[in-house]
Amino acid sequence: MKIVPLAPGAEKKSYYKYIHEPLALLSDEKVKSLKTLRDDPANTLEFADRHEILSPDFVPRASGCYMLKTGGLLVSSTVEVPDITKEMMDWWMVWHQFDHLRYALWDPRDHYDVKVTPETRARLLDESKPYIERLWGTPSYVLESFNGEKPANTTICFCDPAELGYDKSVLGTENCYSMICTKDIVKKGPFTFPVVMTEILRKGPNGKNIWVANWWLGCTREGDTDVAGKMPVRKFIAKMVSALAVHNQIEMPHLNKVLPKLYAEYKDKNLEDEV
């Protein structure tokens, strides 16, 4: 299995042993399905309807890339992660950001590096805040590929769910054990557009935990107002960003395999141990 380049000395860290956990890839048929642009308004989760993911009777849509009625795109992915708990996910989202090797454990083929500023590092270490709240208002700088191609630098700007209009009282319930939100501006070639991401861990229809990830492209929220504009050449852009769904369908099952073991071994240790 191809593994991203690691810094000298990575093999001396105790969690290095998890880097060689086999990464399960998808069939060509599955990849083709995820990359097929879906123009089905009845099954598309519009940005204005995003709160549906937190409802008790939420039913996941088919994973893939959708055309939005407002002129943007939605990339959606739902993955069953029965072995990941709220406590694991909240801890993981902080713990992995201190070391490129930790980030690579999530997806050894595609996760090259992660960096945070000294200010973000201090916030991530602030024990007065719950793990998940330490992310709010911080940027993360990652180097990653979607699915084995040349990696690219990406800035991920985490935000308080309230900035996207979500009701935070649902956090910690079976409708939303854990929630990750971001607001970003993305540049693809000559085109620049806003992207809002929401990922949640919740109880699925069959009683097992699921990871529900949605990226709304061409959409954002300014103050108390949703903004959803038309994107230029969106069918062209869809061909590139649909790879997000493929990537998520690979990285999350892998995390479901390695995170329970990492959490059991490192949850009570200092966040900066071995970095």
- Quick: pLDDT tens for 197-236: 999 999 999 999 999 999 999 999 999 999 998 898 999 9
Please count the structural domains in the chain: 1
The pLDDT score that the predictor gives to residue 67 is 96
CB under 8 Å to 167, separation ≥6 — which residues? 51, 54
| Residue 269 belongs to a domain | no
Strand order in the sheet with 73-80: 37-38, 64-67, 73-80, 209-217, 191-203, 178-188
The pLDDT score that the predictor gives to residue 190 is 84
| Residue 227 belongs to a domain | yes
Contacts of 162-170 with C-beta under 8 Å, sequence gap 24+, read: 163/221, 164/50, 164/196, 164/198, 164/221, 165/51, 165/221, 165/224, 165/226, 166/50, 166/51, 166/54, 166/198, 167/51, 167/54, 170/54
Angle, helix 234-241 to helix 243-266, in steps of 10 degrees: 30
Model confidence at 1, in pLDDT bands (50, 70, 90)? confident
Pairing status of strand 111-115 against strand 219-222: unpaired
Residue 56's SS3 state is coil
Overall pTM surpassing 0.75 (yes/no): yes
CB under 8 Å to 78, separation ≥6 — which residues? 60, 61, 63, 204, 210, 211, 212, 213
Model confidence at 43, in pLDDT bands (50, 70, 90)? confident
The pLDDT score that the predictor gives to residue 188 is 76
| Residue 141 belongs to a domain | yes
| Residue 275 belongs to a domain | no
Residue ranges in the chain assigned as alpha helix (H): 28-35, 86-95, 100-106, 118-124, 131-134, 234-241, 243-266
Q: What's the CATH code of the domain at 107?
A: 3.30.530.20
pLDDT, average across residues 267-273: 98
The pLDDT score that the predictor gives to residue 40 is 83
Is 48 a residue whose pLDDT tops 90? Answer: yes
| Residue 14 belongs to a domain | no
The DSSP H or E segment spanning 183 is strand 178-188
| Residue 163 belongs to a domain | yes
The pLDDT score that the predictor gives to residue 189 is 76
| Residue 9 belongs to a domain | no
What is the residue range of 155's domain?
Answer: 24-263
Residue 141's SS3 state is strand
pLDDT, average across residues 13-35: 97
Place of tokens 């979607």: 146
DSSP E strands in 204-246: the ranges are: 209-217, 219-222, 225-228
